[in-house]
Amino acid sequence: MNSRIKKSIFQFAVCTAVVAFVVLCVYLYYSYESQNSENERRALAEARVLAAEAGASWDYIDSIQDRINYSHGELDFKDVYCSVAGKNIAKRFSEQSDYSIRYVRDNPRSLDDEPDAFEAQALASFALGDATEYYEVVEDGESVTFRYLSKLTIDRGCLQCHGQPAGEKDITGYVMEGMAEGDVAGAVSITMPLDAIVADARENLASTVVFFCVLMACVTAILAWGLRRWIAAPMIDENEKLRRESEDQSNFLTIITHELKTPLSSILAFTELWKERSVKRQADPEELELVQEVEINGRVLLDMINNALDTAKLEAGTLAPASGELDVYDLVGQVSSTMGPLAKRKRVAFSTTVAPGVPVVRADAEVLRRIVVNLVNNALRFTPAGGAVRLEFSYEQGVLSISVSDTGCGISADQLPYVFDRFVSAPGSETTSEGGTGLGLSIVRKFADMMGGEVSVESEVGRGSVFAVRLPLDEFEIDEVDEGGDL
């Protein structure tokens, strides 16, 4: 499988895992909060039932006080009244269960009714407002409990023990408080353990998490399989098909251009011989001009073929720069001999400048020549008659700078980012209007990248352009010799 496809599948799996983890965290938080709310709701419902049952027992004892305390029509107080009955029932219930039920009040008549801090807060809340219940989930270390208080109010049956006149003793022997009907008499305090409920909830949550993880793993596996089966595999097949087609086209282009170079080189060689013989026999100027035209156009065609061949080699990855001695002055001479006649034919002034101090450098002479030729050729194509093209070399801090400036038509700002693309050499068009292949500048950039350099362009419509190449090249030391003494 293509490494890029593998990487995409891996990235998809990682992304899915991250999304699943985030969803799981959100789900856990939501489930935790929901479970806490549900636990509190269940505890509150149960506490209300217990409070109602405690109140019912209290009301029942109050309703049969006369039957309990009167015998044959005479008072026979037996110390059985609502408070005593309610507290004893609550005490027995608490002893037989994990729950705790007690009655609390401000100014209690016994220490058993003394409120703790939480119960005191509840009683204060009842005294200040219309609240009838007060509750909270309390976590104490690993223990979780539910505290609940239900308000008790004075009704008519309570007045004989807690009503008027204040200060006098009631039938039970306690001093009456002078309360009125509707006053807060105290509260039923219920404490319920939630450890079992919380443990069950956590167990259910753990089971849900395991199920969710298994589900997400299955979904991820199915998605990855589907991605590979219906997306990656067809892409791999299509990419392989395109690769083979591209390779076939590249091979075909390489073969064709290579085969074209052989007869063209012969034509140029014979043209050179023809020119030499014409000069020797002092042929008329018209014949010499025709020979020169053949030579110039032959070299232009050779440059086109070389560009196509270089492009094919660069795409195939078979072209690598060599390392050898390069004298910039020799390079300038080669370029001048090739581009000078073309500039003369177009009536464009072509000049070269080598800044002082440019050393002999270590580079691939042919690659560097191709860079310069393509830059100059591009400048000549878009510079009209009467214009000028200038080639400059400089060297500073290990970098060889090549600059080709012209007074041509220039390039608009919106086209500058694309001038180094393939088949885009004339401003605003996909093919050059001067007979080029549109490969020259793209080859310049690829050669510069291959040598670790960079290219740039500055241009203004109607005023010309400046193309620059910066290449990091070491100086060639004259004393670099091998063991045989050869340079």
**Each residue of 187-215: pLDDT tens digit?**
999 999 988 878 887 788 888 888 888 88
Predicted pLDDT at 443: 84
Interval 13-27: pLDDT, tens: 788 778 888 888 888
- Give the tens place of pLDDT for each residue, 236-261: 777 778 777 767 666 666 666 666 66
Q: Which residue has the higher pLDDT, 252 or 102?
A: 102
188 and 325 part of one domain: no
Query: For residue 481, what pLDDT is reported?
Result: 45
Band (pLDDT 50/70/90 cuts) for residue 431 is very low
Is residue 340 situated within a structural domain? yes
End residue of a domain, out of 173, 193, 213: 193
Query: Model-level pTM?
Result: 0.46
Same domain, 329 and 186: no
Say what the pLDDT of residue 483 is. 44
Q: What are phi and psi of 237, to 5 degrees?
A: -60, -45
The residue with tokens 């393939």 is: 422
Contacts of 226-231 with CB under 8 Å at 24 or more apart are 227/9, 227/12, 228/9
3-state secondary structure the chain: CCHHHHHHHHHHHHHHHHHHHHHHHHHHHHHHHHHHHHHHHHHHHHHHHHHHHHHHHHHHHHHCHHHHHEECCEECCCCCCHHHHHHHHHHHHHHCCCCEEEEECCCCCCHHHCCCHHHHHHHHHHHHCCCCEEEEEEEECCEEEEEEEEEEECCHHHHHHHCCCCCCECCCCCECCCCCCCCEEEEEEEEEECHHHHHHHHHHHHHHHHHHHHHHHHHHHHHHHHHHHHHHHHHHHHHHHHHHHHHHHHHHHHHHHHHHHHHHHHHHHHHHHHHHHHHHCCCCHHHHHHHHHHHHHHHHHHHHHHHHHHHHHHHHCCCCCCCEEECHHHHHHHHHHHHHHHHHHCCCEEEEEECCCCCCEEECHHHHHHHHHHHHHHHHHCCCCCCEEEEEEEEECCEEEEEEEECCCCCCCCCHHHCCCCCCCCCCCCCCCCCCCCCHHHHHHHHHHHCCCEEEEEEECCCEEEEEEEEECCECCCCCCCCCCCC
Segments forming the whole domain that contains residue 176:
78-193
- Answer whether 300's CB lies under 8 Å from 317's CB: no
Q: What's the rounded Cα separation, in Å, for the pair 158 and 97?
A: 30
Q: What percent of the chain has pLDDT over 90?
A: 27
Final residue of a domain: which of 159, 176, 193? Answer: 193
Residue at a domain's end among 149, 178, 193: 193
What residues contact 407, with CB distance under 8 A and at least 6 apart?
Answer: 383, 387, 388, 389, 463, 464
Q: What mean pLDDT value characterizes the chain?
A: 82
How sure is the predictor about 224, in pLDDT bands with cuts at 50, 70 and 90?
Answer: confident
Q: Does 327 map to a domain?
A: yes
The answer to whether residue 180 is domain-embedded is: yes
Residue 143 included in any domain:
yes
- Indicate if the pLDDT at residue 320 is higher than 90: no
**C-alpha closest to that of 112 among 94, 133, 96:** 94
204 within domain boundaries: no
- Lowest-confidence region among 48-62, 142-156, 251-265, 384-398: 251-265
Q: Which two tokens stand for residue 369?
A: 């020549």
What pLDDT shows up at residue 318? Answer: 60
* Residue 433 included in any domain: yes
pLDDT band at 482 (very low <50, low <70, confident <90, very high): very low
Give the pLDDT band (50/70/90) at residue 438: low
CATH number at residue 341: 3.30.565.10
In a domain, residue 313? The reply is no
In a domain, 17, yes or no: no
Res 429 pLDDT > 60: no
d(CA 279, CA 272): 11
For residue 223, name the pLDDT band (cuts at 50, 70, 90). Answer: confident
Asked if pLDDT for residue 338 goes beyond 80, the answer is yes
Structural domains in the chain (count) = 2
